[in-house]
Copies of this chain bind each other. A is one copy, B any other.
Amino acid sequence: MKQISIEEILEAHASGAISISEATESIKNLSYEDIGFARVDHARAERQGFPEVIVGQGKTKEQALGIFEKLIARSPNVLITRTNAEVFGLIRNIFTDAEWHEAARLIRVQRDKRELGTGEIAVVTAGTSDIPIAEEAALTAETMGNQVKRIWDAGVAGIHRILAEREILQNSRVVIVVAGMEGALPSVVGGLVKVPVIAVPTSIGYGASFGGIAALLGMLNSCASNVTVVNIDNGFGAGFTASLINRRWQSE
């Protein structure tokens, strides 16, 4: 028997065919809300520990608002990434506690501010121009209940700049490194710490940086074994995964 709707699950439970815990699990895996142009995935918060984030890029402002309203109705914390001030205007009219983060181009509502991490997350950039992506990562991690330490502009051509921050790095549970151009910083940081390093290539650079490909390839080929990589400019994904790594584990 396949259980596709919540109604069927409840019915099955009522009839005694499935237990409470089975019913709960089923609902967690299957529930979503169809609003025409989108299937809002309420189950994801349960499954992944955070509501579906809205990527603003490629959506009309009406679509962004529509999805936002569905999510905020059930979840205390919601993010819209890669969006603009106009969408923020629409949302702010209705939700007065919405915040606009200019550098990261990100809208946030954060009503639940409990801390959920076991340690701290360090976010490092190689240059000044990498800050917007790093802010997206840092804000995501903070919204998901983490303490974040920011280290900006510590690229490898002035190696003493990152070495000076060794203590912060070595006390973090996970490090996010954001770099464009040659993307060398994650390898250096990776060699300094014994925790996972999430590398975020940025599209910063020119010529043979090819919109971030050079940095991406550099990071994928890192000679440090504790480096994993996310998509170019994907600050959100880095902040999200870092939060999962830092989260207290069930058995802990």
Residues of A at the B interface (CB closer than 8 Å) are 1-5, 8-9, 12, 15, 17-18, 22, 25-26, 29-30, 32, 36-39, 41, 43-44, 47-50, 52-53, 57-59, 63, 67, 82, 118-119, 126-129, 131, 152-161, 163-164, 166, 173, 181-184, 187-188, 190-196, 198, 201, 203-234, 236-238, 240-241, 244-245, 248-252
CA–CA, A173 and B49, complex, Å:
14
Of chain B, the residue at the smallest CB distance from A151 is B39
Q: CB distance A161 to B196 under 8 Å?
A: no
> What 8 pairs between A and B have smallest CB-CB spacing?
A207-B232, A184-B184, A58-B129, A228-B228, A214-B217, A157-B191, A182-B218, A157-B224
Q: How far is the CB of A4 from chain B (nearest CB, A)?
A: 5
CA–CA, A92 and B8, complex, Å:
49
Copies of this subunit: 8
Of chain B, the residue at the smallest CB distance from A228 is B228
Contact of A43 among B63, B160, B217, B251 (CB under 8 A): B160
Q: How far is the CB of A43 from chain B (nearest CB, A)?
A: 7
Q: CB distance B173 to A223 under 8 Å?
A: no
Considering residues A127, A231, A238, which has the most beta carbons from chain B within 10 angstroms of its beta carbon? A231
Q: CB distance B207 to A152 under 8 Å?
A: no
28 cross-chain CB contacts under 8 A: A2-B2, A29-B160, A29-B166, A36-B152, A41-B158, A48-B191, A58-B128, A67-B128, A119-B251, A126-B223, A156-B187, A157-B224, A159-B163, A159-B191, A181-B223, A182-B221, A184-B187, A207-B220, A208-B216, A208-B221, A208-B231, A214-B218, A214-B220, A218-B218, A220-B229, A225-B241, A226-B237, A227-B237
